[in-house]
Amino acid sequence: MKITYLGTAAAEAVPALFCNCAYCRQAKLNGGKDVRTRSQALIDDRLLVDYPADTFSHMKDYAVDLPNIHSILVTHTHQDHLYLEDLGLRFGGFCQEISGELTLYGNDRLCEKFDALYGQEPATSRLRGLLSACEIAPYVAADIEGYRVTPLLASHDRSERCYIYLIEKDGKSLLYGNDTGWFPEATWSHLTGVHLDLVSLDCTHMKYREGTNHLGIDDVIAVRKELERLGCANAATTFVVTHFSHNGHMLHADLEVVLVPQGIRVAYDGYSVSF
């Protein structure tokens, strides 16, 4: 399996859209790995995770074959993870050659928002066979694009069921773990004994411990220790952190100084890992 991090920032991106703090100013000067778009990932060049407003730039910058992507896993419906209005561009007239149906998979709130936007005529008839939303239940595996995908409950927005994802195929397993704080007990229980080849974790708060809605460095290290205790991870497991906010007050090199000696990789926009 392969995961490509198309975007690695939290909601406001880095440098943040309207911020003039020292970290945002430095990120502008540095460019490169310190410039981060909103979080999105691509599994094996075929399965997208989340659909932020930055998807167009991801398609352009990393040669994503978006017309031939047919499945998107949605972690939750916050605007930096789901830009539903953009998907209406699959309407005829906007798109001259359309390749099959694109299905969004996620929670009940996803389906509610989808129906509110596209569930009335003429939108329904115009998108029929081109775009759909499908609710998947927590802890129930689904076959999506040949992957065994299990949504696990996250600790994030308590007004909706937010998901992290266990993704398995051909004997390999990936835990895509953002946005979330310390996992709910039911998620820990489901993961117990499941070997993970790669663990991708939220590190929004960086130098600051958080754990209720997101993670910081100390939280990430604690999550790794718990996964090891539960038999999910060992020395062969790859750990990667992503979803960074300028409010965490660290640049990419600062993160690497702390995390690389811990055996944890720091993602940046365009970073890819095969495992």
DSSP code, position 13: T
Output the pLDDT for position 92. 81
Q: Which amino acid is at 221?
A: I
pLDDT along the chain (275 residues), means of 10: 98 97 98 98 98 98 96 97 95 85 98 94 85 97 98 97 98 97 98 98 97 97 98 98 98 98 97 98
Exposure string of 144-171, with b = 16+ CB inside 10 Å and e = fewer, is bbebebbbbbbbbeeebbbbbbbbbbee
Q: Which residues lie below 8 Å from residue 239, measured CB to CB, with a gap of 6+? A: 198, 199, 201, 220, 224, 233, 263, 264, 265
In CATH, the number for domain 2-274 is: 3.60.15.10
In contact, 39 and 81? CB cutoff 8 Å: yes
In contact, 156 and 180? CB cutoff 8 Å: yes
Output the pLDDT for position 137. 98
Q: Is the pTM of this model over 0.95?
A: yes
Q: What is the pLDDT of residues 58-100, one digit of tens each?
A: 999 999 999 999 999 999 999 999 999 999 999 888 988 888 9
Q: What is the pLDDT of residues 127-144, one digit of tens each?
A: 889 999 999 999 999 999
Task: Please state whether beta strands 47-49 and 71-73 pair in parallel, antiparallel, or not at all (unpaired).
Answer: parallel
Output the pLDDT for position 127. 85
- The count of other CB atoms within 10 Å of the CB of residue 74 is 26
Q: How far does the chain reach from its first CA to its final CA, in angstroms?
A: 6
